[in-house]
Amino acid sequence: MKIETDKVVTLTYSLSSNPAGEEAKFVEEAGTENPLIFLFGHGNMIPKFEQEIEGMQTDDAFSFSITSADAYGQFMPDALVHIPMDVFIIDGKPDTEILQVGKMVPMRNDEGQTLNGKIKSIEKETVLMDFNHPLAGHDLHFTGKITEVRLAKDDELSHGHVHGDHCHH
């Protein structure tokens, strides 16, 4: 069975990345114990990733790269934002559990949308946060294997994602 819209795809992969001018580094892996399972053609994956594996079948191996522009975009300096320290004050004191350089913190924008930001630095009156995707500005390199392609169930199609063990909603 070929990978196409409305099919459930199970695959293993290894992902490495490299920002412009730097050597590639390992990012993550989905092995046979914890494969990636997703509903193809429903916006659950990077569009270029789906384009690369479309038409493949069980046991097909793949190796391809996706430029940052086709993945998570370029690093945007204006996504570095100074947040007033008073946002992080709880019961009159800074929340030291949250205020840690490198920590990802969910925040809300003016429209109420949740955005994840990484704390870059903590200053006296502000906290510098980076709201870029962690892989923004990075080219992505995937190698892997398709381990299963099946028809999606009606409830998976109606919900737009796979149900069951090891699924990535």
What are the residue boundaries of the structural domains of the chain, listed by start?
7-72+135-159, 77-130
101-116 pLDDT, tens digit each = 999 999 988 888 999 9
Higher pLDDT, 23 or 49: 49
User: Is there a contact between 130 and 79 (Cβ–Cβ < 8 Å)?
Assistant: yes
Pick the CATH number of 77-130 from 3.10.129.10, 2.50.20.10, 3.90.660.10, 2.40.10.330: 2.40.10.330
**Count of helices and strands (H, E) across the chain:** 2, 11
Supply the CATH classification number for the domain 7-72+135-159.
3.10.50.40
124-140 pLDDT, tens digit each = 999 999 999 999 999 99
Model-wide pTM > 0.85: no
CA distance 45 to 61: 18
Amino acid at 122: I
